[in-house]
Amino acid sequence: MRLKDKVALITGAGSGIGRESALLFAKEGAKVVVADVSENGGEETVALIKKNDGDAAFIQANVANPAEVKAMVGFAEKTFGKLNVLFNNAGIFHDQDDSVTTTEESVWDFVMNINLKGVYLGCQYGIPALLRAGGGSIINTASFVAIMGAAAPQIAYTASKGGVLAMTREIAVEFARKNIRANALCPGPVETPLLAKLLSDPARRQRRLVHIPIGRFARATEIANAALFLASDESSYVTGSTFIVDGGITSAYITPE
- Residues marked active site are found at 157
Inter-axis angle of helices 118-132 and 155-175, nearest 10: 20
Sign of CA dihedral 145, 148, 153, 158: positive
Q: How many Å apart are CA 189 and CA 143, to the nearest integer?
A: 9
Other beta carbons within 10 angstroms of residue 64's beta carbon come to 21
Spatial contact of 108 and 117, defined as CB atoms under 8 Å apart: no
Task: Measure the CA angle with vertex 71, ends 67 and 74; round to 5°.
Answer: 145
In terms of Cα–Cα distance, which of 168, 194, 193 is closest to 182? 168
Would strands 190-191 and 85-88 be described as parallel, antiparallel, or unpaired?
unpaired
Which amino acid type is present at position 31?
A: K
DSSP 170-198: HHHHHHGGGTEEEEEEEE--EESHHHHHH
Separation of first and last alpha carbons in the chain = 42
Q: Alpha carbon of 255 to those of 197, 212, 220, 230, 249: distances in Å?
A: 25, 8, 24, 30, 9
* Cβ-proximal residues to 174 (8 Å cutoff; 6+ apart), any chain: none
